[in-house]
Chain A
Amino acid sequence: MLRFVTKRLISAVLVLFSISVLVFLIFFATPGVNPAARIAGRSASPATLKAVEATFGLNRPIPIRYGLMMYHLFIKQDLSSYVNIGDKVIPQITQAAPVTLSLVFGAAVLWMVFGVWAGVIAAKNRGRFIDPFIMFVGIAAVSIPAYWLGEVVQLITQTSLHSSVFHWVPSTGFTPLSQNPLQWAVHLLFPWLTLAVLYAGIYARVLRSEMVNAMNEDYIRTARAKGLSERRILYRHALRCSLIPIVSLFGLDIGALIGGSALLIEVVFGLPGVGMLTYNSLTNLDLPVIMGTVMYGAFFVVLASAVVDILYAVIDPRVRVVS
């Protein structure tokens, strides 16, 4: 087991390393993105431009620049932005992370509740009207571009109906939980709902098909043969087994979302989270911040998948051999 965990962690570190190299190459192999000219200002003379390049180490060989960037990011932790000079990357991420966490965990509660509820209802009522209805809603939910849904929500709450039904909806932005819990929730309510719609759809569909499959398994037949009530079989046996894939799915999704995959929702609702930070740094081509946020995001994705893998290995020893 220990060997499996070690192997899994080493491969995670390798993956993170490769990603950092990839990001660095993507952005430095491109003509036209040299930040020196922007740092120097609009009508800087060629001499000033050269001096700026030297100050920021932009004239050094690529591998050394990569090494320096990693050194400043991870060891000295003082890597700072090319756009907001002196603005360190790590504090920017730690300031943005609570926003993303608030968004993701709030939405996660909603989608788990609705998704599991809808999935169970559909599975229980298989063959009746409610099942295809829920599945239809589920398909609609997973087919809606979430950012578009966000814009539509904005359109409804901020324009025509803002003066009547939705006068209590604040303009976009974020209020920290510590500052005002009520405002925190009010600001996040619609982002939560928007994000949750999609995942609730996915989870309901996955759970339903898992449960339907489970109901055909041998152990359910055994349970039936023992004369257990249908209700008991559904909740105690089928649901319990079907929740295992849901939980692993949940782990991976949460990892990706905390890592910044909620980027579009954050942009649409003006939430200053990690996704927004990433998006802004990408549009500004602010390489140190891009590097920081991508590494942060990849870290959570890799961590989540490693944790899920290891938990699986704990539950099911065969995995250790196959991997």
Chain B
Amino acid sequence: MSDTVSPPSLTLSELPKAPEGPWRSSVRQLRRNKGAIVGLVVLVAIAAISIASPLYVSLVTHLNPFNTNLNGSFVLNGQTIQVMQPNTQGLGLGVNPIGPTWDFQHYFLGADNLGRDVFARLLYGGRVSLLIGFTSAILCSLLATIMGMVAGYYGGFIDWIMSRFFDVIWAFPIYLLAISLSVILLTSGLNLGFIHIQAGSLLLPILIIAGVYVPYVGRPIRGLVFSLREREFIQASIGSGASDWHILRREILPNVMPSVIVFFPLMVAFNILTESALSFLSIGVQPPSASWGTVLNDGLDLLYTRPWVALAPGILIVITCGALNVLGDGFRDAFDPKAKLRGSV
């Protein structure tokens, strides 16, 4: 699933009252799933490399990938090479950044239009892309779970309000909403009473991405809670005078969690794709921060001369999202085999 599609809808199966130790058995099942393990390993590897990016820069390249280097040069195999190479043939128009040297010490994947090391930027970009993917997935799941549970449990007016909210966001063509919000918030920043978020802040894409997907998780959770509420064990708790807080936390939440967990990896993948799409339109992550999407965006201006700048971040996005999807399939098989995920993210 991707950037051009309406987001995944999720049909959750209603779980029977969990038997003893469902978590342990699920985890055991997950550990037996080879595909999921491979996905997890790939993911952890990418995350580890990204997190270690400052080490790469300080130990190997010694070149800050966030500083422009338009007049710089370096020595490779005894030759001094300009990072930005003016075109000397013909009319001599244009300046080309250096292409891939395939040498980890110098511009492995070449430079971008500002003479910065593309490979190092990709590593740093991975941190931002993964950060946005995970934090907005956590935020989105949290919001959606709370809203879905409250709406499904209390019903009535609260449910009506929440459901209409879900309906409106749902019906808004998803990319239009994300793009509209980005365009506007990048101009003005976000002012919510005492909270002020600067226009260039990473929090903006995180909030926007988390916000637009809330209904896609919240709606099915609401439906699940709605039907759980009619079940005997919940009715029994209500009858025994347990507080709403207690029922929500001890009875309903454990039954909702597997669904949230199953959806989580797919949500992360979806968020990474959305972030890259917004950055591709240059309304996502703002400089000086870099993400895979911003590197890809930089690469589009070099497509004819230095295609690797656009190819490499795309490949990383595909691998990461593929790993998340495989992991998501594993989670589904382990936690909630009957959940009907719409394809995947």
Chain A residues with CB under 8 Å of chain B are 11, 14-16, 18-19, 22-23, 26-27, 30-33, 132, 138-140, 142-149, 151-152, 154-155, 159, 195, 198-199, 201-203, 205-206, 209-210, 213, 245, 249, 252-253, 255-257, 259-265, 267, 278-279, 282-283, 285, 290, 293-294, 297-298, 301-302, 305
B181–A26 CB distance below 8 A: yes
Residue B175 interfacial (CB < 8 Å):
yes
- Pick the contact of B4: A151, A263, A293 (CB < 8 A): A263
B296 to chain A, nearest CB (A): 7
Chain B residues close to A by CB (< 8 Å)? 1-6, 9, 35, 164, 167-168, 170-176, 179-181, 183-184, 187-188, 269, 273, 276-277, 280-281, 296, 300, 303-304, 307, 310-311, 314, 317-322, 324-326, 329, 338, 340, 342-345
Q: Give the distance in Å from the alpha carbon of A302 to the alpha carbon of B167 in the complex.
A: 9
Report A-chain residues with C-beta under 8 Å of the C-beta of B174: 256, 261
- Whether B171 pairs with A145 at a CB distance below 8 angstroms is no
Taking a contact as CB atoms closer than 8 A, the residue among B167, B184, B318, B345 that contacts A30 in the complex is: B184
A261 to B311, CA, bound (A): 24
Q: A145 and B307: CB pair below 8 A?
A: no
Q: For residue B6, which residues in chain A have a CB less than 8 angstroms away from its CB?
A: 252-253, 255-256, 261, 301
> Is the pair A19, B172 in contact by a Cβ cutoff of 8 Å?
yes
Known: A144-B314, A301-B173. 20 other contacts (CB 8 A): A15-B168, A16-B171, A19-B172, A22-B168, A30-B188, A142-B321, A146-B4, A147-B280, A198-B2, A198-B5, A202-B343, A203-B343, A206-B343, A253-B5, A257-B4, A260-B176, A262-B4, A264-B3, A264-B281, A297-B173
- CB contact under 8 A between A202 and B187, given known A146-B4, A256-B5, A301-B171: no
The complex places the Cα of A199 from the Cα of B267 at a distance, in Å, of: 18
Q: Which residues of A contact B325 (CB under 8 A)?
A: 139, 142-143
Contact B180 A154 (CB under 8 A): no
Of B303, B340, B343, which one neighbours A155 at CB under 8 angstroms? B303
Question: Do residues A139 and B322 form an inter-chain contact, with CB atoms below 8 A?
Answer: yes
Contact, CB under 8 Å: A152 / B311? yes
| A198 nearest in chain B by CB position | B2
B172, B307, B325: which has the most chain A beta carbons within 10 Å?
A: B172
A256 CA to B174 CA in the complex, in Å? 9
The residue from A30, A132, A146 contacting B3, defined by CB atoms under 8 A apart: A146
Note all chain A residues with C-beta closer than 8 A to B338: 213
> Which of B164, B281, B303, B304 sits near A14, CB closer than 8 Å?
B164
Q: Which of B1, B181, B281, B324 contacts A198 (CB 8 A)?
A: B1
Q: Which of B168, B187, B311, B314 has the most CB of A within 10 A?
A: B168
Minimum Cβ distance to chain B for residue A82 (Å): 15
Expressed in whole angstroms, the Cα–Cα distance for A23 and B173 within the complex equals: 12
Find out whether the CB atom of A302 lies under 8 angstroms from the CB atom of B171.
yes
- Bound Cα distance from A205 to B340, whole angstroms: 11
| Min distance, Cβ A147 to any Cβ of chain B, angstroms | 6
Residues of A within 8 A of B326 (CB): 139
Complex CA gap A282/B182 in Å reads 10
Residues of B within 8 A of A285 (CB): 183
